[in-house]
Amino acid sequence: MRYALPYARAGQVIGLLGGSFDPAHEGHVHITKAALTRFGLDRVWWLVSPANPLKPVGPAPIEKRMEHARQVMQHPRVEVTDIERHLGTTYTAEMLDKLHQIYPGVTFVWLMGADNLKQFHRWQNWQGILATTPIGVIARPGQRIAARTSVAASIFERARLPARASHLLGRIGTPAWCFVNVPMNDASSTEIRNAGAWMRD
């Protein structure tokens, strides 16, 4: 299994951006480039998920989504992966536990939009994720206030790193999370699908 996973060496700080990428678009590229700079990351891995168990309609075949993602995201420090498929995990907490075991000495930073922070407390073992993995939160349109007043943000307020020190996120231990505002990009996978510009079959 190890040969199918991306390479990383001890001491590196790697951002993880998960999702169905159905399809990948310029909004994903936008927040990835912002995360590289703002959080001082060595690399970012896109984690293209096999399927979202919370969505009734399945995504396009993963091979198609991976191929399109590689066309959209061309950057020397970004790698498009299907780690979840190789690890056989369903939940983020489970996947992160396995990555910490496989890559000793590597610090992973979980990246999410502010809209995800709003409901992060509903994720399986969300407090365990925060206890072991720094989280970089990137503001998206209309979600800033709700994210900052979310359950997770309130409970872990003392672990919040000021935005001015965001580049230290992966280097100060856990728990730690940081909320940064970046210029907005409103691209949406849902809108692209609804416009008929992306065929799942």
The domain locations on the chain are 2-194
CA dist 200 and 172 (Å) reads 42
Cβ atoms < 10 Å from Cβ of 13 = 20
pTM, to two decimals? 0.88
pLDDT at residue 189, as a whole number: 47
**Mean predicted confidence (pLDDT) in 157-179:** 96
Convert the pLDDT of each residue in 185-201 to its tens digit.
555 545 544 555 545 55
What is the dihedral angle through the alpha carbons of 124, 141, 26, 118, rounded to the nearest 10 degrees? 0
Q: Is the pLDDT of residue 174 over 80?
A: yes
Percent of the chain with pLDDT over 90: 69
CA–CA distances in Å: residue 18 to residues 23, 27, 51, 61, 163: 13, 14, 11, 16, 22
Which tokens hold the place of 19?
């999702």
**Mean predicted confidence (pLDDT) in 164-189:** 85
CATH top class, domain 2-194: alpha beta
pLDDT at residue 78, as a whole number: 98
**Mean predicted confidence (pLDDT) in 119-136:** 96
> Are 73 and 31 contacting, i.e. CB atoms less than 8 angstroms apart?
no
